[in-house]
Amino acid sequence: MIQTTVKVEGMMCGMCEAHVNDAVRKAIPVKKVTSSHTKGETVILTDEALDEEAIHRAIDPTGYTVTAVTSAPYEKKGLRKLFG
């Protein structure tokens, strides 16, 4: 799995987070999406790497602004302790 962290400007509350999450779910086949207005970011888990333009197309029309996108392989917390 791939974890994509998207820096998003303009989220001010929990409703903003929900709005961004819904927009991402409608546009991208995700395993999980969570947003934090306090961190100013949305974290998306997917099976495949995401196209940065797809992220912009999903979030930018909502009125929030994508400022940065980073991706890395996702490793579930605690697995190293179990299997490492």
Q: Hey, what domains does the chain have and what are their CATH numbers?
A: 2-76 (3.30.70.100)
Strand partners, 9: 65
Q: Dig out the tokens for 64 from the structure.
A: 């929030």
Summarised one tens digit per residue, pLDDT across range 45-56 is: 999 999 999 999
Split the chain (84 residues) into runs of 10 and give each run's mean pLDDT: 97 97 96 97 96 95 96 77 52
CB distance 37 to 11 below 8 Å: yes
